[in-house]
Amino acid sequence: MFTRSLLIKLTLLISVQFFVDVNMHAQAKKPAYAIVIHGGAGVITRQNLSPEREKMYILALDSAVSIGEKILANGGTSLEAVEKTIRFMEDSPLFNAGRGAVFTNEGKNELDASIMMGSGEMAGSVAGLTNVKNPISAAIAVMTKTSHVMLAGKGAEKFCAEAGLEIVDPSYFYTEARYNALQKALKDESDNPDKKRGTVGCVALDQFGHIVAGTSTGGMTNKKFGRVGDAPIIGAGTYANDASCGVSCTGHGEFFIRHTVARNVAAMMEYAGKSCQEAASYIIHEELKKVKGEGGLIALDKDGNVVMEFNSEGMYRAYAKPGEKVIKIFND
């Protein structure tokens, strides 16, 4: 009996090895991994971004994408890469997420984030956090430690504290630039809210073939009444499916919710046979542009093809694959 059991085990081992070999061979032309990030889309032009600020953003985008790239290159998971990359951007006051988030009408910072894994369709989301240092980690905790997808407000904060997430005083999120932006918005009746947005996002494909997408934001300057944008909405701001793609959006959130943008990219690939690039281009430049829905998205398909599309004047963005790194801001 012992020999027979051993034989079965050996046969299984050889079968698995064979499967792995065949599988690796079939994927030979794909990059081993890929990562793409955004730091918000909007009125970002050479005219309104000084060379000094431009350098700061380039440096921050480079640092962020490199964090995730290193994890992926070392065989880490796309979930870890997305979390660590977004945490860096949340901690940077340059981006409208975490520290540096924009202010609500009441002079508070309210943070939203979401995450989705392409395998097993697991997802997590938080909305309206005021004291959790890294909302993306809160979204991941909702996904991994509860049976729920979305938690909001005071209840979500209570969960975060119990789950051991880092809690900070709301003043941690304060930055002078964002506070001044609120003061200007409150004064200026003709203020265009379109200019006061931003979000960070990351999509990663790891060496196991798994895609993860995440998004984190402070929302809209001067937002009122507990407004929730697309960032914490699975299917709107964030979506991932290993069979098609992972997507993270940024822009005028209301349009991204109504058009279920992130899910729509995947649906056009899944059901209409479009490529990720074709689907994204159509949605951003045709569908959303028609209704003046400003913004953009980043995406990765299952083969590691990178998409970075936007219909605004600029989008902070970067991607990395083995032997390739691109960092861009303007529309060129």
Residues of this chain that bind its own copies (CB under 8 A): 116, 121-123, 127-128, 146-156, 158-159, 224-229, 233-236, 239, 253-254, 257-260, 263-264, 267-268, 270-272, 291
Considering the complex, state which of residue 75 and residue 193 has its C-beta at the smaller distance from its own copies: 193
Contact 151, 159 (CB under 8 A): yes
Distance CA 221, CA 102 (A): 5
Question: With helix as H, strand as E and coil as C, how does 150-215 read?
Answer: EEEHHHHHHHHHHCCCCECCHHHHCCHHHHHHHHHHHHCCCCCHHHCCCCEEEEEECCCCCEEEEE
Distance CA 245, CA 213 (A): 9
In whole angstroms, the minimum distance from the beta carbon of 163 to its own copies comes to 10
Considering the complex, state which of residue 55 and residue 258 has its C-beta at the smaller distance from its own copies: 258
Considering the complex, state which of residue 99 and residue 223 has its C-beta at the smaller distance from its own copies: 223
Q: Compute the radius of gyration of the chain from its Cα atoms.
A: 20
In whole angstroms, the minimum distance from the beta carbon of 259 to its own copies comes to 7
Distance CA 169, CA 283 (A): 39
Considering the complex, state which of residue 194 and residue 313 has its C-beta at the smaller distance from its own copies: 194
CA distances from 275 to 264, 305, 306, 319 (A): 12, 10, 11, 19
Considering the complex, state which of residue 152 and residue 326 has its C-beta at the smaller distance from its own copies: 152
Contact 304, 29 (CB under 8 A): no
* 256-270 exposure pattern, b = at least 16 Cβ within 10 A, e = fewer: bbebbbbbbbbbbbe
Token readout for 228 is 């929730």
Fill in the DSSP letter of residue 120.
Answer: T
Considering the complex, state which of residue 156 and residue 329 has its C-beta at the smaller distance from its own copies: 156
In whole angstroms, the minimum distance from the beta carbon of 257 to its own copies comes to 5
In whole angstroms, the minimum distance from the beta carbon of 238 to its own copies comes to 11
Token readout for 193 is 């809210």
Contact 119, 97 (CB under 8 A): no
In whole angstroms, the minimum distance from the beta carbon of 330 to its own copies comes to 28
Point out the catalytic residue in the list 85, 130, 199, 217. 199
Closest CA to 181 of 217, 223, 228, 222: 222
Distance CA 224, CA 199 (A): 18
Considering the complex, state which of residue 158 and residue 184 has its C-beta at the smaller distance from its own copies: 158
In whole angstroms, the minimum distance from the beta carbon of 168 to its own copies comes to 19
Instruction: Clarify whether 199 is annotated catalytic.
Output: yes
First to last CA, the chain: 69
Closest CA to 297 of 35, 38, 90, 33: 38
User: Which residues carry out catalysis?
Assistant: 199
